[in-house]
Amino acid sequence: EVAPRRAFIQSHATQVRKGSEVPYASHLFGTCSIVLDHGANEDQAIAALLHDAIEDVHYAPGAREAVAAFCPEVLRIVEACTDADTHPKPPWKARKVAYIEHLVDADGPVLLVSAADKLHNARSMVACVPGSRHSPPDHRFTGLIFSRPAIRSSANSASIVG
């Protein structure tokens, strides 16, 4: 049981965030910190650490197995926070709109981890300064159209994350 977890965690050891030299682990720890700041339990904190696991690997079944080694609830949350598990991934905008739409039916733990992920990403984008070691914000975020159900879902999740 420990081997899949160790192998999975070690697989992120040398990764960096897209377009930067910032260790990928900083995003995982940042997301986890946010959920813990908002009352997450142990399963939710672990799911926050692993929230990108399935979508960021080329072999999703192996990633699912590694995540499932923690417990079924961690796997459930991580799967619900996954916007694509195929490679190549579907087009960015369609994938993000579908993900936002699916949050309408998501429960509290999923909304907490998802909101923490998006908040950490937004904080990272705001921290981007031209000429710094961070890449500038991705232009794709500027044209994303949010549907009314997704906005309602986000408003409802605000009570979960404070």
Write the pLDDT tens digit of every residue in 138-149.
554 444 444 444
Average pLDDT on 66-86 reads 93
What pLDDT score does 104 carry? 95
Rounded Cα distance between 45 and 51, Å, is 10
What pLDDT score does 24 carry? 83
Predicted TM-score (pTM) of this structure: 0.76
**96-124 confidence digits (pLDDT tens):** 999 999 999 999 999 999 999 999 988 88
Task: Tell me the average pLDDT of the chain.
Answer: 78
What pLDDT score does 15 carry? 80
Average pLDDT on 6-30 reads 76
Q: Taking 70 as the threshold, does the pLDDT of residue 161 lie above it?
A: no
% of residues, the chain, pLDDT over 90: 42
Average pLDDT on 61-84 reads 91
Average pLDDT on 21-50 reads 93
